[in-house]
Amino acid sequence: MKQTRAIVITGNGTNCEMEAAHACRLGGFDETVIAHIAEILSGEIRLDDFHFLNLTGGFLDGDDLGSAKAQANRLKHAAVSGSGEKLVDQFTRFVADGKLILGVCNGFQLMVKMGMLPGFDGEYLNQTVTLTHNDSGRFQDRWTYLQVDSASPSVFTRGIDKGIYLPVRHGEGKFLCDSDATLARIEAGHLAVLRYTLADYAEATLEFPANPNGSINAIAALCDPTGRLMGLMPHPEAFVHYTQHPRWTREKLPEEGDGLILYKNAAEYVRKNLI
């Protein structure tokens, strides 16, 4: 039987690759590889050999041109050594082959600035949304309640009842669209997978601090129409075990943290559809 394979890209300022790889392994992937971007650009490692791509949190290139913008430019224009192809060709082929991509925090910023999300009409290199500075003007490090859209096509959130509880840690997490028309298409397609909410998960909120950045329509996560590509500002890899919960010594909690289901769903999808 073929193995399910996940890849986590590191380098140029990422800092969550170990946690993301651990989450993939706990989620059920047979093999998880942490690859430096230089290994991919050199041709030593190819995205084609994997089923699940993780773009992790951090501070790509120091966020000097805005969060993940420099890396987005690099990935869209850099050539793979000795192959005659651009790296972006591997990304678009990865999507065309029906595989999964999850971008978390800085990885979500990278996906929207490359144009991979929302991915309308199969266009994955045309930017129409962005993530910009929090309304507070400050870096936010706190836990958030997230309402799940049960009608979303997202592969990653299948089986989640009402919502999940995850930490955020970002300075540029405010979700915005280039037009009302883009936002309307996102809402009509149920592509806003997660929204910031209160503890009862009943209603999305724009109020700080429950909404830590001021995102339009309280959007915390976005997927493409296929549900196979998803980006989110909260960190699912940072809550895969109950001891990561801020109140784990004071409450009786399930062993698995809320974030683990995203990786379990990814592994199940790969087993059923890609191998």
Query: Scanning the structure block, which residue is given the tokens 């004071």?
Result: 250
Give me the catalytic one of 24, 105, 177, 223.
105
Distances (CA, A) of 59 to 64, 67, 171, 172: 9, 7, 10, 11
Give me the catalytic one of 19, 172, 177, 235.
235
Other C-beta atoms within 10 Å of 275: how many?
12
Is 16 catalytic? The answer is no
Q: At what angle do helices 69-77 and 106-114 cross, to 10 degrees?
A: 50
* Residue 129 main-chain phi, psi, to 5 deg: -135, 165
Query: Scanning the structure block, which residue is given the tokens 């790889």?
Result: 21
Is 235 catalytic? The answer is yes
Distance CA 70, CA 15 (A): 17
47's CB contacts (< 8 A; 6+ apart) are: 7, 40, 53, 90, 91, 93, 94
Query: Cβ(272)–Cβ(1) under 8 Å?
Result: no
Give me the catalytic one of 17, 19, 172, 237.
237
Active site residues: 105, 235, 237
